[in-house]
Each structure stands twice: as C-alpha cells, then as structure tokens.
Chains A and B, each alone.
Chain A
Amino acid sequence: MSFVEYSDFIQDGDVAIVYLSHDSMMPVKVQQGAQTQTRYGVIRHSTDLIGQRYGSKVTCSKGGWVQVLHPTPELWTVSLPHRTQILYTTDIATITMMLELKPGSVVCESGTGSGSLSHAILRTIAPTGHLHTVEFHQQRAEKVAEEFKEHRVDHLVTVRNQDVCKDGFGVTGVADAVFLDIPSPWEAVKHAKAAMKKQGGRVSSFSPCIEQVQRTCEALADQGFEEINTLEILLRVHDIRTVSLALPDFGPDPSAQTQPDANEKAPPPTSGPNHASVTLKTTTPPREIPGHTGYLTFATKPRT
C-alpha cells in the first residue's frame, strides 16, 4: 500500500480504510496482533486484515461486516483526524486542475493543516514531482510529517515549520504552482512569486471571506500576476429515493359510464380508487447542504 501506488493485498504496516457506510469510514493502521473496535464488533488485524485482498468483506465479532478499502486521498479526506478545518474533494479537484498539476509538478503549499489537500497533491505529482509544504504550527507540522511517512509518500514532500508570510516557502525559483490556505494570503503573495519558476506558473488561494479575496486580488495584480480569476464551487449530492405519489379520488365519473366504448376497452379504470398511487425513482436534495466553503482565486505568474 501507498497513497501513490495501488497494491492488491493488505500488509502489516499498511493504512487501510474501514468502510462502515458512506458517511462513516475509519482509517486503520494495520499491525500484527492489533485489534480495532467498530460498532459491528472487533476486527483482529492478523487474521481479518493481513493477507486479505483490498475490497474484501470482513466479518466482525458481532456478526456484522465491513469492507476494507485501499486508501486514496479522497477516502483519507473523509476519514482523517482533523487538526484544522480541511479542504474537501470538490475544492481539491478544482484546485488540482486549475493549478495544472500533473506528474513531475513542483508545488508549494501553506498551511499544511491536516494534510487533506497535501495527499491529493502528492498523488497527482508522483512519481517525479515534489511538494514543499509550510506549516507554522510546530505540532501540526510534526504530526503531518509522521503521517506522510506512514503513508509512504515522505520521499515526495518536504515539511517546513515556519511562517510563510515572514519566511516564505524555503525555496526559490522551483515551483510550477503555489497554493495558499492561510488567513492573510496577501502577505504571502510576494513569497509565492519568489518560489515560482522564472518561466511562470499558476497560483491559487482559498479564502472564506470576500474581504480576504479582495486584498489577495489586489496583491496579485500588484505583483504582476495575470489571468486573475475568482470562483466558487458547490457540490450537490442527490439522494436517490423511490417515492409514491397518491392519486386523488374524484368520485364516480358519470361521463365515463355514458360512454360504453371506453368502458369496453379499458374495463376497470376506476377500481381501487382509494389507494391508487404512482411510484417513481427520483432524487431528493439533502435537507441541508454546505452553502459555502471558500472562494478560490487563481492567477498566472508570467515569465519574469
């Protein structure tokens, strides 16, 4: 297992995702002799996980069962331990495409936070790219570095514990893309520019508030960035349901009776009027949906 390479069988030391339901998943560090408690009972790693195929069904002690999935950045995003607010897959997908990330890209990111976006970046830029990520909170920086090691992607990433607004990214002239998710991105714009290749590249900033966007766009324009563009992406999930709509009872229809022809052709059109209904498959929107995550601002650094 690695977050950048699929494998078929679960091994000691892997991180596997235990799938309980679509809104309940947990990451498990697979260790010989270890146990994991779920609401369906206990999973014994040595017998239930190690040597099993990813995607197989594991029966827990209480008789219920779960699926064990190969980790992906997307599954990690919905199961990771939060140390901060995180970016979710919808925004991550947009960022990845708009920053033009691909194998070999060199990317700068700040702050690292809980590493939700970092894993997605690493997946995309492997095997030849590199991520320079900056996190000013020491404990978070250490924790995320540990996770990168556990997930076997540490060869693709450098974590720096410093303040990006003051000290920059710790590299200059190497990045194809820069991503900022910090409270005052406008203070880091000049560092972003310095970190980027002289041939140019793409930059992106994520901010929840429009005032932050305003200041960031100004700073980007001041630093000579082009194609400045702000957008927002919202995800709509459609719940699939079978619904039945009752048909109203209009009472006996005398006009139908006076037409013998119609009566003969369709004999019992009015039978069981009380419980007549039509069932259909449709989707319903969830009662509440996230209405705003943040504004995404993108820009191009021209060649300097």
Chain B
Amino acid sequence: MSVSEMFITLQGVLTADQDIREEIRKVVQTLEQTAREILTLLQGVHQGAGFQDIPKKCLKAREHFGAVKTQLASLKTKFPADQYYRFHEHWRFVLQRLVFLAAFVVYLETETLVTREAVTEILGIEADRERGFHLDIEDYLSGILTLASELSRLAVNSVTAGDYSRPLRISTFINELDSGFRLLNLKNDSLRKRYDGLKYDVKKIEEVVYDLSIRGLSKEAASDVGGEK
C-alpha cells in the first residue's frame, strides 16, 4: 500500500467522523432549545406570584421532558453505541443542564434530591454504561451543583415573596448536599471548580436564614412548619 493510498483511506475515516459529529451537533441543538424552554418555565417560580402554582409548572416541565426523551433517543442512533466517550464532549454541557432541570423539578415537587436512577428515567436513558447511552456520574454531580446555586437564589426570592419557611428547608437541604460532596475526593477538573462554588451558595443561604432569625421571622416560620406537621 503506497503512502498516498494510506492517506486517502485515513481521509475517508476522518470525513466519516466529521459527518457523525455534524449529526450529533444538530440533535444537541434541538436538545438545548428544549432545555431553554424548560428553564424559562421553571424560572417563573422566582417571581412573587410564581409560588402559588409550583405544581402546575412542574407538570408542564415534565411534559417537556417527553420531548427530551425523544430527542435523546434520536441522539443514540447517531453514533456507535460503544463510542459514547468519543463524542461525549458534544452533549456533555446540555446533559448537565438537563440533569439540573430534572433535579429542580423533583426538588420543587418533593423537596428531596433526585437520585441518579430517577434522572435517567426522566431523560429516558440508561443508568449504567453497559446498557447503552448513559448518564456519566460527573455530569450528574455537575447538574446537582447547578441546582444548589439555583436554590440559594430561590431562598432569597422566597423571602421577598413573603415565604419565610422555605429558606429554612432549603438551608437544611443544601447543608446535607454539602456534606455529601465533602465525601468525594475530586480531582482538579471542571467538577472540582464547580464544587468550589458550592460554599458560596451555602454561605448565601445561611445569611438569609440569619436575617430571618434575627428578626424573629424564622420562629414564625418554624411554628408554621410545626403546625403543618
């Protein structure tokens, strides 16, 4: 085989590669579009009036996740199943965003942390690598960290809207999340950088709780919570 023949073969391989990437990019664009729509929906909870119909917003968001499922299903067909990590970079960002959105919906509904398995169910993908298109653990954790900063924002806005008990609940939740992340030994990568931002979210929420308690508002809230129980 001559040198030029070899390079012609290689060129064919590279072109085929580029075609796959192009296809993937198209699907990822539609995914990003859907993710933006869901985010816009959920952003409504930050507005004063938004606190009343949170369940309704969550339901709507869950409908949109149906579209996400079909888009992810079509993404699966664009590349060989055993080359997930070869093209991982293309959908990494959008997948993290979708994890965050799913986690946000689940938190608003039940005030618990979504499990990895539950996320994969919402997105219609697999939990472990052997079975096909799956959710990488680092992407899951990144999405959860985005949730933390969103919740610290929600705590601030819920005080503005006059809901004094929510920040206390968020505070408990974030503190538990923080302890969870402290169990992990992270490398110096993007996940680590994002984790370093978590302490600011924790601090922000503590300030909110402090402001409430110093004005006696948290006692009110606490007794409300106690009453509900």
Q: Are A and B interaction partners?
A: no
